[in-house]
Structure 1
Amino acid sequence: MKLRKSGVAAASAVVLALTATACGGGSDSGKNDDKITIGIKFDQPGLGLKTPDGDYTGFDVDVATYVAKELGHDAKDIEWKEAPSAERENLISRGDVDFIVASYSITDERKQKVSFAGPYFLAHQDLLVRADEKGITKAEDLNSRKLCSVTGSTSAQNIKNELAPKAQLQQVGGYSQCLTGLENKAVDALTTDDTILAGYAAQPQHEGKFKLAGLSLSDENYGIGLKKGDTELQGKINKALEKMVEDGAWDKAVKDNFGPANYKNESAPKITETS
């Protein structure tokens, strides 16, 4: 009788072992390691835009896709997640995204909460004016002129407080309202990062209507945001960014996304975020 019990126990053990093997080994079963979640802007033409047909386009999207591929993920494996400016640090700290590529300027304040790879682009605050505008060639020319930006914009306050205190500042809910006002001559200029301005100017419906003033009112080093202290991922992303520049993909992405606006970009910046 004892022998029979031993035989049953042994057979049961074999069945359990085979079952575990067939299921793929316990708690990891069903997990897709190919997937990666990346935060981008959904509303910035030229940088990160979700199109009506559900596609994603822009320079940040191209950079993120290239980096993901270098990390071993095909484009089809990317889950895009909207990353509004005010939510970027929260998305990273909660682990909702693997990293963020969303016109994310590297600042000392932000580095208290997250780490960055890069930078991968050097942008500047600039002005967008009508294509036939000849009277605005420097920030001071905005005194007594109408300047538009979005509510809470640090770019607009920079001009109002430091460069053109007599500018008539109008703050609205979105850049598209500024563009309409600019086209209709209700305002004289729109201000924010030159990449964002170039992206709007390059849209088919705006092509030829606007131009960038070509001012460099601030330096904005765009970095890829990731979990604070993740030096391993930081190093891998930095290598991917360096390769993107070396093989010409970076230049192509700039031309594809900003070219129609005749945007004069800076050369790819040197990687500085290494710890």
Structure 2
Amino acid sequence: MVSTSRTLTLAAAGAVLLAAGACTPQATPAPLPSGSATCTKESLPTRTPGKLTIATDEPAYQPWFVDDKPDNGEGFESAVAYAVAEKLGYARDEVVWTRVRFDSAIAPGPKEFDFDINQFSITDERKQAVDFSAPYYLVRQTIIALKSSKIAGKTALADLKDAKLGAQVGTTSYQAITDVIKPTVEPQVYNSNDDAKKALQNGQLDGLVVDLPTAFYITAAEIDDAVIVGQLPQVGTPEAFGLLLDKDSPLTGCVSGAVGQLSADGVLKQLEQQWLAQVAGAPELT
């Protein structure tokens, strides 16, 4: 069955995800209370004592960040990152930002950050190489197209079978093309969303798959003649974004606990309403 638009609060939905994860391979690490003795700033083994190093990609797009400046606290993910830092005891001037490409962050190997926030969907495959926190956002994959595209106005997945679609490399957007849409035409992969958007504008693609908030931003502010075709159906466990950490990081439990507290306190919902309020109402593809 195709799920309808999200009606659960993020706190409730996050709780459902965590409860379901306890008996499935999607389980996130059991969170530690971020207020416990083991989760105080003084006891956390961060890369730099007394500092919290947070990574994201470059450029960092709206509505997740504003003006490509992660340190300004504006945009949903910037605000979430500072809220997590505060829960862990770090003041704003104790947060250090660094830039790491999306595909480098999810690759195996030691990390140059304490956690990365960059719309990383939690997947079993990725958890072989990295850790994730509890979910901070439930996400839907969405197709956008130019108004002149042959798929503009389509309402069914079957109408997309012969479409030339594209997405950024290493993303669940690309996986949604191959696993959900399953087009007969080989999908195109791009190093960044900027490259993918250029391909769409140049007529090299019939449609581009991105997450829902990004779809709203692209169609509202970046490409004048682009429209949202529709949201793809959820398959299996709802897709969720998590903070990414080094594999078996000693910080994972505390970071996950901080996210859980922000969810329970309603902070994540407030930030979602502040920065992502425009994402409701996109049509469903059946």
Name the TM tier (shorter chain).
0.5 to 0.7
Which position in structure 2 is the counterpart of 1:28? Answer: none
CA positional deviation for 1:67 = 0.4
Q: Match of 1:192, SS?
A: strand
The answer (yes or no) to whether the contact 1:212–1:263 under 8 Å persists in 2 is no
The answer (yes or no) to whether the contact 1:142–1:167 under 8 Å persists in 2 is no
Q: Deviations over 1:243-265 (max 9, x none)?
A: 3223332123223333345467x
Counterpart Cα distance in 2 of 1:209 and 1:95: 37
Given candidates 124, 127, 136, the residue that maps to 2:140 is 124
Which position in structure 2 is the counterpart of 1:255? Answer: 273
The answer (yes or no) to whether the contact 2:154–2:229 under 8 Å persists in 1 is no
Alignment of 1:76-87 (within 5 A): 76-87=93-104
Which position in structure 1 is the counterpart of 2:80? Answer: 63
Given candidates 36, 40, 65, the residue that maps to 2:56 is 40
Which position in structure 2 is the counterpart of 1:27? Answer: none
Given candidates 197, 222, 228, the residue that maps to 2:241 is 222
Q: Deviations over 1:79-103 (max 9, x none)?
A: 1111222221569x53521112222
What is the count of residue pairs matched by the alignment?
A: 231
Most deviating of 114-123 and 255-264: 255-264
The root-mean-square deviation of aligned C-alpha atoms, in Å, is 3.7
Most deviating of 219-228 and 76-85: 219-228
Alignment of 1:1-275 (within 5 A): 33-43=49-59, 44-48=61-65, 51=68, 55=72, 57-89=74-106, 93-130=109-146, 135-150=153-168, 155-156=173-174, 158-159=176-177, 163-167=181-185, 169-180=187-198, 182=200, 187-201=205-219, 204-206=221-223, 209-211=226-228, 213-216=230-233, 218=235, 219-230=238-249, 233-262=251-280
CA positional deviation for 1:227 = 3.4
From the superposition, tell whether residues 170 and 68 of structure 1 become closer, same or farther in structure 2 (CA, over 3 Å).
same
Q: Deviations over 1:229-256 (max 9, x none)?
A: 345x333223322332233321232233
Most deviating of 245-254 and 146-155: 146-155
CA positional deviation for 1:40 = 1.6
Q: Deviations over 1:136-192 (max 9, x none)?
A: 223221233342334566644653576343347444554235445546766432113
Q: Match of 1:128, SS?
A: strand
Counterpart Cα distance in 1 of 2:223 and 2:165: 19
TM-score using structure 1 length = 0.66
Which position in structure 2 is the counterpart of 1:16? Answer: none
In the alignment, structure 1 segments of 5+ residues that lack a partner are 1-30, 265-275
TM-score using structure 2 length = 0.64
The answer (yes or no) to whether the contact 1:126–1:216 under 8 Å persists in 2 is no
Counterpart Cα distance in 1 of 2:189 and 2:48: 45
CA positional deviation for 1:215 = 1.9
What fraction of aligned residue pairs are identical, expressed as a percent? 25
Q: Deviations over 1:195-231 (max 9, x none)?
A: 44344345x3457953251222554322222233345
From the superposition, tell whether residues 166 and 77 of structure 1 become closer, same or farther in structure 2 (CA, over 3 Å).
same
Q: Match of 2:231, SS?
A: coil
Counterpart Cα distance in 2 of 1:234 and 1:32: 16
From the superposition, tell whether residues 63 and 238 of structure 1 become closer, same or farther in structure 2 (CA, over 3 Å).
same
From the superposition, tell whether residues 189 and 55 of structure 1 become closer, same or farther in structure 2 (CA, over 3 Å).
same
Counterpart Cα distance in 1 of 2:99 and 2:178: 30
